[in-house]
């Protein structure tokens, strides 16, 4: 049976307000009264499962731009919904997205040459600038960040992900008997790679802060793994299939701390719709435990992919200066460096890792904060 009121139509299981339908059970579950709704956390207090039967309205009215429902229960229970609140949450015919989809700009050297990023200067109202760059391009560079401000900046993103015994930050400079090739006393070049492929980490924001860079050589390099994967898939579909379907082992040995850690996973991870979601690539950490019949065909595909991603057409090369803070989406962007001469001057970086979900959550907060006021 229908009951009509200005802007309001009542049916047995739902009502229609301003052309949008709302089920009574949804309205009950989203009641804003103090008994049902926690005012500072915006979370539900009322537990639907405590009811013996589904809620039913005793009376419904619309007045002063508010929907007012008295529920058929004892003690009396009234729900009041501002019209604007309801319409902003309407789900008829389907919900509007609360968050804008994150756009990714896949890039190569030619694209960056044609669209050179404008790097943000730390503390110069830069938060929206660097967040958008990191989300879109997969990396960003902040200039002139004082060392003493680094901790405050990192804390504004989220907690640091600890790796072994390094602590909050790990030092990257040439030292004797380093536990990783990045610490080589010879200043070896590092081919494009993603970090910590040997651990079951969530997607990571990697931070590289330049303390000093006076050495000859040592330019930083970046490669968009998603762009490489997209092009490689088109040019070499058979090799792409092998790379995505063959789990390989990445390992790391920490002799000083008595740790051996490893993870087995494909180099390129796809989701259920065959989209690339993660790149796990680190030649220096790769171990292959494949059957004889698979080994040669995998190496053909791996060699092809490795050569492909090292094309200069995909490489963005630049020199970090003291006070530069580079942020990269670690499981999209591969980073590396050119060889450098440690005897020509000091090259000192500090690196840290943060869960990408905290960065994404910070970015999302700025989108939805008005929704919860």
pLDDT of residue 331: 95
Considering only residues 40 and 112, tell me which one the structure prediction assigns the higher pLDDT: 112
pLDDT of residue 124: 78
- The closest alpha carbon to 329, from 198, 157, 222, 206, belongs to 206
pLDDT of residue 41: 85
Backbone angles phi, psi at 101, to 5 degrees: -65, 140
How far apart, in whole angstroms, are the C-alpha atoms of residue 188 and residue 177?
13
pLDDT tens digits, residue range 226-253? 999 999 999 999 999 999 999 999 998 8
- The closest alpha carbon to 36, from 78, 6, 94, 96, belongs to 78
Q: Which of 164-173, 184-193, 252-261 is least confident?
A: 164-173
Q: Work out the average pLDDT over 283-304.
A: 95
Contact 279, 225 (CB under 8 A): yes
| Cα–Cα separations (whole angstroms), residue 235 to 31, 54, 308 | 55, 57, 10
Complete domains list, the chain, with CATH: 3-96 (3.30.2020.30), 109-366 (3.60.130.10)
Contact 226, 106 (CB under 8 A): yes
Q: What is the DSSP letter of 351?
A: E
Contacts of 225 (CB under 8 A, 6+ apart): 194, 279, 281, 309, 331, 332, 333, 334
**Is the pLDDT at 36 greater than 80, yes or no?**
yes
pLDDT tens digits, residue range 77-124? 999 999 999 998 999 998 887 777 778 999 999 999 999 998 988 887
pLDDT tens digits, residue range 45-79? 988 888 888 899 999 999 999 999 999 998 999 99
- 231: tokens are 């092009």
Contact 117, 105 (CB under 8 A): no
What's the pLDDT band for 42 if we cut at 50, 70, 90? confident
**Is the pLDDT at 1 greater than 70, yes or no?**
no
pLDDT tens digits, residue range 311-350? 999 999 999 999 999 999 999 999 999 999 999 999 999 9
Contact 334, 197 (CB under 8 A): no
**Is the pLDDT at 4 greater than 60, yes or no?**
no
Mean residue pLDDT across the chain: 90
pLDDT tens digits, residue range 196-223? 999 888 889 999 999 999 999 999 999 9
**Is the pLDDT at 260 greater than 50, yes or no?**
yes
* CA 324-329-332 angle, 5° bins: 130
Q: pTM, whole model, 2 decimals?
A: 0.83
Report DSSP letters for 213-253, one per residue. E-SEE--EEEEEHHHHHHHHHHH-HHHHHHHHH--EEEEEE
Q: Which residue shows structure tokens 């840290």? A: 352
**How far apart, in Å, do the first and last CA atoms of the chain sit?**
36
Report DSSP letters for 235-301, one per residue. H-HHHHHHHHH--EEEEEEEGGGTEEEEEEE-SEEE-TTS-EEEE---GGGEE----HHHHHHHHHH
- 102: tokens are 């994150």
pLDDT of residue 97: 79
């Amino acid at each position: 049976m229908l009951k009509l009121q200005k802007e309001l139509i009542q049916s047995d299981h739902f009502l229609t307000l301003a052309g949008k339908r709302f089920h009574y059970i949804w309205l009950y579950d989203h009641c804003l009264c103090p008994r049902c709704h926690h005012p500072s956390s915006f979370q539900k207090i009322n537990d639907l499962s405590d009811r013996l039967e589904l809620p039913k309205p005793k009376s419904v009215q619309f007045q002063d731009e508010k929907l007012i429902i008295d529920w058929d229960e004892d003690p009396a229970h009234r729900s009041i919904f501002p019209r604007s609140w309801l319409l902003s949450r309407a789900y008829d015919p389907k919900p509007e997205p609360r968050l804008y989809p994150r756009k990714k700009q896949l890039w190569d050297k030619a694209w960056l040459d044609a669209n050179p990023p404008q790097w943000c200067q730390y503390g110069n109202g830069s938060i929206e600038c660097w967040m958008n760059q990191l989300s879109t391009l997969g990396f960003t560079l902040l200039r002139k960040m004082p060392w003493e401000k680094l901790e405050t900046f990192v804390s504004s993103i989220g907690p640091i992900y600890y790796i072994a015994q390094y602590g909050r930050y790990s030092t990257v400079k040439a030292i004797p008997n380093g536990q990783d090739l990045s610490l080589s006393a010879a200043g070896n070049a590092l081919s494009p790679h993603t970090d910590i492929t040997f651990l079951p980490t969530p997607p990571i924001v990697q931070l590289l802060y330049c303390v000093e860079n006076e050495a000859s050589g040592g330019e930083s390099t970046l490669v968009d793994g998603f762009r490489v994967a997209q092009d490689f898939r088109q040019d070499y579909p058979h090799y792409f299939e092998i790379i995505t379907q063959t789990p390989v082992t990445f390992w790391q040995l920490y002799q000083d701390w008595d740790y051996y850690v490893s993870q087995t996973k494909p180099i390129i991870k796809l989701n259920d719709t065959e989209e690339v979601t993660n790149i796990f690539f680190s030649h220096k950490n790769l171990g292959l435990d494949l059957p004889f019949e698979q080994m040669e065909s995998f190496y053909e595909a791996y060699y092809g992919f490795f050569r492909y991603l090292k094309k200069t057409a995909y490489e963005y090369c630049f020199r970090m200066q003291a006070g530069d803070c580079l942020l990269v989406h670690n499981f999209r962007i591969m980073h590396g460096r050119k060889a450098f001469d440690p005897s020509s001057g000091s090259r000192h970086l500090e690196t840290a890792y943060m869960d990408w979900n905290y960065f994404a959550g910070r970015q999302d907060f700025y989108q939805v904060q008005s929704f919860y006021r």
